[in-house]
Structure 1
Amino acid sequence: MIDRSMAAATIVFLPCWESGHFMSMVAAGKRMLDASGGALSLTVLVMQAPTAAKAAEVDSHVRREAASGLDIRFLNLPAVEPPTGYVAPEEFNFRYTQLHAPHVEEAVAGLSSPVAAIVVDLFCTPLLDAAAELAVPRYVYFASTGAFLALMLRLPAFREDLTAKLRETEGTVHVPGLPPVPLPYMPACLSGDKIGNYEWFEDYGRRFMDASGIIINSSIELERGVLAAIADGRCVPGRPAPTVHAIGPVIWFAAREQQPPHVCVRWLDTQPPASVVFLCFGSKGFVDRAQVGEVAAGLERAGHRFLWVLRGPPAAGSSNPTDADLDAMLPGGFLTRTQGRGLVWPSWAPQKEVLAHPAVGGFVTHCGWNSTLESLWFGVPMVPWPLYGEQHLNAFELVTAMGVAVPMKSMDGSKVESFVGAAELEQAVRGLMGGTEEGRKARDKAAGLKAACRKAVAEGGSSDAALRKLVSEISSGGGAPPP
């Protein structure tokens, strides 16, 4: 029998299969390993994703990270049969995750190393109790904003009033630490057609309160107000919230391989500094042909240089966009008329390399938090175009709390339209790139937050201090197990 007391302690991670969650969590784990100075190892329990496409994505991430040489072990959990009869998407995720509980217990029991802590993704909280008998600290990794965390913690208190208002376009919601949030900026995952989602997000928020702590991909410099509100008990009155460890920005940078620069990067090399507006809508971002026509018209009329990552519709049974057929999707003659000042790229593009390029001066983004952090890291101001998830709330923060974005006028708080007309996009791009007072302020704020983000994670910064305190707590066994 292996003497577990003689092996180096390990932190067990349980990530979600979505790439933005999976890689953010692994990147956070690597930061924790580095801060531990070799005192800890990392064990990642990998659930098989519910679709073949997602499973292939996760497999590629695992292969790459397993070859990194770091002290990370990836253990694949047995497959489970996906649930049926669900109504809301989050109901499926909750039930699918919960089915892995016995496999998690078996995997943890079979580890040769003592378990110092268990960390679960915000969407994997049904597994917090899977290894309860271990009596070790259990943490939640929150890959989104402090604002969304504050809202989720408040959902039980909001239930009676908010669920009746989610389809309305007037009124505001008080999220502790933020200015009053107009109802249209409430997360689409709460206010969409599947109102049943509210119940599942509410349950997640309740479970966060039973964790030893919450590790969040944010920083005091980015979200001082909402993080203070959580710490002060304003989100769940009468009950102290778990300690929030703000260790962000956590950004995953792949090891650079010896290969030629991407086509998009080579094109940017030929453009003047800060002259290009970059349009990209994330791993799930897709707009239909009618919307593509409006974007094309807006870019053509705005007159600025652009790099547009345009994806095609998802294949049957998938939520991921495909490579675009540019001839079929773009208006006739558009590529000819914009030749030289614009590039439409129909496939995956290296977003971090693009945002890091000195030719890029603005970013039209879906406001996914990973994309937002990358833009802030490189000091690129934004035009928000939220599509799904919590992105509407992220857009509100970018405009009102951080001041790093120029909003489209159709997203003025009285309504938030997912369909954007050519004139709206033209005006926003001109405002961001053309030297208006609003654009200058956004650029100045973005430059300031670029410096603040880098200072936060540097030695002695706020996020570095939070990370080292967290790792010390875990290493010493000082983190109290949840009650």
Structure 2
Amino acid sequence: MEGTIVLYPLMSIGHLVSMVELAKLIFRQYHQRLSVTILITSGPVVSPNATAYLSRVSETIPFITFHHLPSVTIASSIEPSFNRSRAAILSELVRLNNPNLLHTLHTMSKTSTIRALVMDIFCAPAASIVSSDLGIPTYCYNPAGTIFLSFLLYLPTIHHQTTKSFKDLAMTHLDFPGLPPILATHMPASALNREEQGYHWILEISSSLRKSKGIIVNTFESLESRAIKAITDGLCIPDAPTPPVYCIGPLISSPINHTVEGESVNQIHQCLSWLDAQPNQSVVFLCFGSGGVFSTAQVREIAVGLEKSGQRFLWVLRKPLSEDNNKHFSVEQGDPDLDVLLPEGFLDRTQDRGLVVKVWAPQVEVLSRESVSGFVTHCGWNSVLEAVCAGVPMVAWPLYAEQHMNRAVLVEEMKLAMPMEESEDGLVSAMEIEKRVRALIESEEGRVFRERSRKMKKEAMAAWSEGGSALLAFTKLVDSWISPCQLG
């Protein structure tokens, strides 16, 4: 064994799953030369489904070592406004974990050669400390695609072009290299207010990315060719060299053991067997990630729209968070009461063509079913890649994080998705839902989207074939870890 690769993920389910898939990839390709250790943190923003997922993979993947860092606590003296910001809490947890991270890496270095530390982009501010104190090469892993990476790298440039917060630039479109113009108010929530701690943390992440040994991205060249070229040509960092960028995707969740706490095995089998009983290319799948939630009013609009569409559907429904149509993120679990949430008689009237699943469905398996013809998605990057790999067209309904940016590219450049349009109060009407679902299944436009999606599926498979862009990038990445010039 020539050494160890240490991975340092963010304990959010989408980030954690992607990092575990990276660990599996390293093992599959280089298990005779490299071992893999994943560092696990704890804290108030760790979601229950991330904890449940970690428990399962720890038991079923013996070739990965999971090392738990000591728990840290955020001081009660931190001002209330800071505590209300999830981004600010994350930044504080990363800072508090730095001593634990350094101690763990120092201890590991006594018995193994650490070839590289691969950090989630949201942990990137710790990279400079590791490099200066221990001399370990640090790389940043971006599970969210090149769209988000372009935003992060170019943010300091925009920051110096204006004194206003993005939230105050209504109807203003911003130009990021390699991306279509995007509304300023569609930036990630943590970046909307430059007076808040979260915004300055994002700036700190951008600075750390620029100093890393390399940036690893879960994407592939033919999917995001324009954005990748803009970054590698140096357009996103006009005043300094751009670190090497390694596009090694698509890395998507393995079908086995990607489950959440409290989930019923019978529900999974019912979901997949129901799909297998439906005609080919007849079902619309609606799922909004591990954190996506809607108001009760929005849930009812979805139900009415689905019923009026007359189409077959599989709908994953989570318990509403609040009655605010603009609040869409929650890590809380809990079964939704379908009898209370859905219109009276809805389940009976649609029982021959629809299925409502509580909380979670095995998304990779669902999208691979021949009966699934379209996917109404929140545009989380993992979901986008899973749809691409399955060759399934999308209806883009972004809810939080960088998802509005993803929608702009999916709709305007990739042309793999139709947009779901919302009203000024944040509500998407039943009429709009009916319109998009019908178009996806019945229209010529939907047929064109399906054909384009099938072609992109082939491109995704080609990325990891012999001579493919992802395989070449990954080989180059690992060479940078184990080549003599990187030792010491």
TM-score normalized by structure 1?
0.91
Task: State whether residues 123 and 204 of structure 1, in contact with CA within 8 Å, keep that contact through their aligned partners in structure 2.
Answer: yes
Task: Report whether the alignment pairs 1:89 with 2:83.
Answer: no
Of 54, 57, 68 in structure 2, the residue corresponding to residue 62 of structure 1 is: 54
Instruction: Please list, as runs of the form range in 1=range in 2, the aligned pairs for 1:387-402 lying within 5 A after superposition.
Output: 387-402=399-414
Q: Residue 124 of structure 2 aligns to which amino acid in structure 1?
A: T
Partner amino acid for 1:274? Answer: Q
What is residue 290 of structure 1 aligned with on the other side?
A: 297
| Deviation of the 1:165 alpha carbon | 4.2
Residue 29 (structure 1) aligned to one of 23, 34, 44: 23
The 1-side partners of 2:447 and 2:225 are apart by 24
Report the Cα offset of residue 106 of structure 1: 1.1
Matched residues in 1 for 2:439 and 2:183: separation?
23
Q: What letter is aligned with 2:86? A: P
CA shift, 1:79, in A, is 0.5
Contact 2:253 2:364 in 1 (8 A): no
1:103 to 91, 100, 103: 100
Which is worse superposed, 78-87 or 11-20?
A: 78-87
SS in structure 2 at match of 1:178: coil
Q: Which amino acid aligns with 1:181?
A: I
Choose the corresponding residue for 2:13, options 16, 19, 22: 19
Deviation string 1:425-479 (CA, Å, 9 cap, x unpaired) is: 1111111111233x22221221111111111122321001101111121022444
Which one of 352, 360, 363 corresponds to residue 351 of structure 1?
A: 363
Counterpart in the other structure of 1:224: 225
Q: Give the distance between the partners of 1:168 and 1:263, measured in 2 at CA.
A: 47
Give the secondary-structure state (helix, strand or coil) at the position aligned to 2:359.
Answer: coil
**Matches of 2:440 and 2:151 in 1, distance apart?**
30
Alpha-carbon distance in structure 1 between the residues aligned to 2:287 and 2:194: 25
Over 3 Å counting, the alpha-carbon distance change for 1:23 and 1:172 in structure 2 is same
% same residue: 39
Q: Structure 1 residue 324: deviation in Å? A: 1.1
Deviations 1:365-417 (A, max 9, x none): 11111011101110110101100000000111110111011112448xxx7x7
Q: Which residue of 2 aligns with 1:237?
A: 238
Instruction: Name the CA distance, whole Å, in 2 between partners of 1:109 and 1:161.
Output: 42
What is the match of residue 311 of structure 1? 318
Deviations 1:212-254 (A, max 9, x none): 0001101111111111111111011121111110000111204
Hey, what does 1:403 align to over in structure 2? 415
Amino acid at match of 2:98: A
User: How far apart in 2 are the matches of 1:402 and 1:158?
Assistant: 25
Q: Which amino acid aligns with 2:68?
A: N
Distance 1:445 1:477 in 2: 44
Q: Residues 58, 363 of structure 1: CA spacing in aligned structure 2 closer, same or farther, 3 A cutoff?
A: closer
Task: Please state whether the residue corresponding to 2:122 is helix, strand or coil.
Answer: coil
- Corresponding residue number in structure 2 for 1:145: 145
Letter in 2 for 1:431: A
Say if 2:478 is the partner of 1:471: yes
Deviation per CA, 1:35-61: give whole Å up to 9, x if none.
22521111111111325x62x544433
User: What is the root-mean-square deviation of aligned Cα atoms in Å?
Assistant: 2.4
Say whether the 8 Å CA contact 1:217–1:248 is kept in structure 2. Answer: yes
Give the secondary-structure state (helix, strand or coil) at the position aligned to 2:238. Answer: coil
Say if 1:34 and 1:364 are closer, same or farther in 2 by CA, change over 3 A.
same
The residue identity in structure 2 corresponding to 1:372 is V
Opposite residue 207 of structure 1, the aligned amino acid is: S
The separation in 2 between residues aligned to 1:10 and 1:377, in whole angstroms, is 30
1:59-113 Cα offsets, whole Å, 9 max, x none, are: 4333433344553211111001124321632121111111111111111111121
Comparing 68-77 with 169-178, which one deviates more in the overlay? Answer: 68-77
The residue type equivalent to 1:458 in the other structure is S
TM superposition shift of 1:320: 2.6
Determine whether 1:39 maps to 2:8.
no
Count of aligned residue pairs for this structure pair: 466
- How far off its partner does 1:314 sit? 5.3
Contact kept? 1:285, 1:321, Cα under 8 Å? no
Aligned to 1:419: 427
Q: Is 1:204 the equivalent of 2:202?
A: no
* TM-score for both structures, normalised by structure 2: 0.90
Q: Rate the CA distance shift 1:148–1:347 in 2: closer, same or farther, 3 A.
A: closer
